[in-house]
Structures are given as structure tokens and as C-alpha cells.
Structure 1
Amino acid sequence: MDLLTIGLLSASVIVGLAGASLTALKGWNGWLELKKMELTQSLGDRGLPPATGRIEIADLRERVRKLEAIAAGIDI
């Protein structure tokens, strides 16, 4: 094999590797962006609105008071 053939072959291998690397990098960035979107959406879905959360906490406190009264033997 002559020098020109070896040079062309090595250049084509380098170009192929560069293309594959760029494609993989683009896919990786897309996957990271997808995960960021999933995280922001899941964080937005969590929790109750403030008023509903306060009402629910008040209901839970009332239930705890009733259970404590039952445990202590006091009629409500």
C-alpha cells in the first residue's frame, strides 16, 4: 500500500469517528434536556395548593386530638 492510500484511509477513519462522536454528544445533550424537563414537571406536580394544604393539616390535627382524647378515656 502506498502512502496516499494509508493517508486517505486514516483520514476517513478520523472523520467517521468525529461524526459518530458528534452524533453521540448531540444525543446525550438531548437526553439530559429530557431529564431536566421531567424533573421540572415532577416538581411542579408535587404538593397541594397552600389553602388546601392548610385545611388538610387542620383536619389531621383535629383527628389527632380526637384520638388522643379517646386514648385518654375522655368523651368528646
Structure 2
Amino acid sequence: MTEQIIISSATIIGMTIVALIALRGWQGWLALKERELDRARNAEPAMQEGSPQGAARIEIADLKERIRKLEAIASGVDL
């Protein structure tokens, strides 16, 4: 009977330690995700505005596409 009490006590203590470690890891993971969400919320306005260099590249690419289409029309090629 004493052996069973020792084994069951050790099992309960071991399970408690494992549960506490898992809880600590879960709290850390939640804190990490919260920081990621905060970072995403703070970065959102900057991402919507975009960089001026990126906007200029898009505009240049658009202008090049328009020039290509106009040249094709001038040479009589259907697109």
C-alpha cells in the first residue's frame, strides 16, 4: 500500500510539473502572438500609404505599358 501511495504521489507531482511547464509555454506563445498583432496594427498605416519609390516604379511600369500599346496601335498590330 505504501508503494502505491509513493507511485501515485510521484505521478501527480510529475503531471503537475508537466502541466505548469506547458502552461508557461502557452503563455509565452500568446505573448508572442500579441506582440505580432501589435506590430501589425502599428505598421498597417505605413503599409497602406506605400513607399514613394514603389509607387514611382508602378507608375513607370504603367507608362511603359501604355507606350507599348500606343506603338502597337501605330504599327497596326492588334493586341
CA distance in 1, matches of 2:67, 2:29: 53
**AA partner of residue 62 (structure 2):** E
CA distance in 2, matches of 1:30, 1:13: 26
- Counterpart of 2:47 in structure 1 is 53
5+ long unaligned stretches in structure 2: 69-79
**AA partner of residue 39 (structure 2):** D
- Counterpart of 1:44 in structure 2 is 38
5+ long unaligned stretches in structure 1: 1-6
Residues 30 and 67 of structure 1, relative CA distance in 2, 3 Å threshold: same
Q: CA-atom RMSD, angstroms?
A: 2.5
Q: TM-score, normalised by structure 1?
A: 0.68
CA distance in 1, matches of 2:29, 2:49: 34
Bigger fraction of residues in helix? 2
